[in-house]
Amino acid sequence: MNIIVCIKQVPETTQVKIDPQTNTLIREGVASIINPFDTYAIEEAVRLKEKYGGKTTVITMGPPQAESALRESLSLGIDEAVLLSDRAFAGSDTLATSYTLSKAIKKIGSFDIIICGKQASDGDTAQVGPGISAHLDIPQITYVKKIREIKDNYAIFERMTEEGYEIIKSPLPCLITVVKEINTPRLPSLKNLMRAKKATITKWTFIDLDIEEDRVGLKGSPTWVVKIFTPPPRPKGQILDGTIDETVEKLAKIIKDIK
């Protein structure tokens, strides 16, 4: 079975804070990490390979330094890695990004399942996974919390909904986006760490892909950011004081009034 995982390198949001004086982002020392949801996609791919055999390939689009996210994926057990990096890709929105990734996936060739994280922690759009499946015209199953079984030409998934979950059967190939509940990612093994260090990463630029120039980057992106600003700070809070009875009385009144 051939499994493709799409990941994104994101800033570690634990460290993204707002400077209260200037009201701007403090980024000093902000590390780059694999998007948290994508770590579950990587783990699920490795588990599928362990169970059914085959090959796992991780792919990302981003600046050259995104290579470190790919090496980390290899250390977690992924077999091969592809980096899509080109100035021509800069400024891509979700339409252009999913187009570029779908073209790269076509170049990789045959696959049975594509696994993406539910959404990225910086953009939070959850649009790239479904976008890739729409470009490739394959079925999509979003918010997957469990893969029940995979047979020769179909798979059965549990898809999380607001009320519970649905059991969905889909033919292969298909694309799934996964939520945290699907697994607990492992730590890198020493052997894979060594392999990841030395591995060759496949690097593709614009000319390596069969793509139209006006469909990638800022030019291929229908949506444009026209303004970025920091949200208004929350009003200063108030600690209710007094005896327990008094504070709870005050709080009950506050809740009742807002309600």
Partner 1 sequence: MSIRIIEEKCVGCKLCLKACPFGAIEMRQKLAFIIFEKCTLCGACVASCKFKAIELKKDQKPAPEINLGEFKGVWVFGEQKKGVIQPVVFELLGKGRELADKLNTKLSCVLLGYNIKNQAEQLIYRGADNVYVVDSKDLENYLDEPYTNILVKLIKKYKPDIFLSGATAIGRSLVSRVAVKIHTGLTADCTGLDIDPKEKILLQTRPAFGGNIMATIVTKRHRPQMATVRHKVMKELPMDAKRKGKVFIEDGFEEDDFLSRTKIQDVVEEITSTVNLSEADIIVSGGRGMKGPENFVLLEELAKTIGAAVGASRAAVDSGWIPYSHQVGQTGKTVCPKIYIACGISGQIQHLVGMQSSKIIIAINQDENAPIFNIANYGIVGDLFQIIPLLTKKLKENLNK
One of 53, 163, 200, 210 touching partner 1 (CB under 8 A) = 163
Residues with Cβ within 8 Å of 132's Cβ and at least 6 positions away in sequence, in order, are 6, 98, 101, 102, 105, 114, 116, 175
191-250 residues in contact with partner 1 (CB under 8 A) are: 214, 217-219, 221-231, 234-235, 237-240, 244-245, 247-249
Nearer to partner 1, 22 or 200 (CB): 22
Helix or strand holding residue 128 (H, E): helix 128-136
In whole angstroms, what is the distance from residue 175 CA to residue 155 CA? Answer: 11
In whole angstroms, what is the distance from residue 53 CA to residue 46 CA? Answer: 10
First to last CA, the chain: 54
Which residues lie across from 113 on neighbouring strands?
Answer: 3, 174
Neighbours of 243 (CB within 10 A): 8
The site string for partner 1 over 136-155 (x = CB under 8 A, - otherwise) reads ---xxxxx-x----------
Residues with Cβ within 8 Å of 13's Cβ and at least 6 positions away in sequence, in order, are 121, 122
One of 74, 76, 174, 211 touching partner 1 (CB under 8 A) = 174
87-116 residues in contact with partner 1 (CB under 8 A) are: 87, 90-91, 93-95, 98-99
Span of 47-55, 59-67, 106-114, 195-203 interacting with partner 1 by CB under 8 A: 59-67
One of 156, 193, 199, 201 touching partner 1 (CB under 8 A) = 156
Q: And the tokens for 52? A: 């059914």
Residue 218 Cβ vs partner 1, minimum distance, rounded to whole Å: 5
Span of 51-59, 75-83, 172-180, 197-205 interacting with partner 1 by CB under 8 A: 172-180
Nearer to partner 1, 69 or 160 (CB): 160
* 188 prior amide bond cis, ω within 30: no
Nearer to partner 1, 54 or 123 (CB): 123
Nearer to partner 1, 60 or 192 (CB): 60
Residue 79 Cβ vs partner 1, minimum distance, rounded to whole Å: 26
Nearer to partner 1, 198 or 223 (CB): 223
Contact yes or no for 46/7 (Cβ under 8 A): no
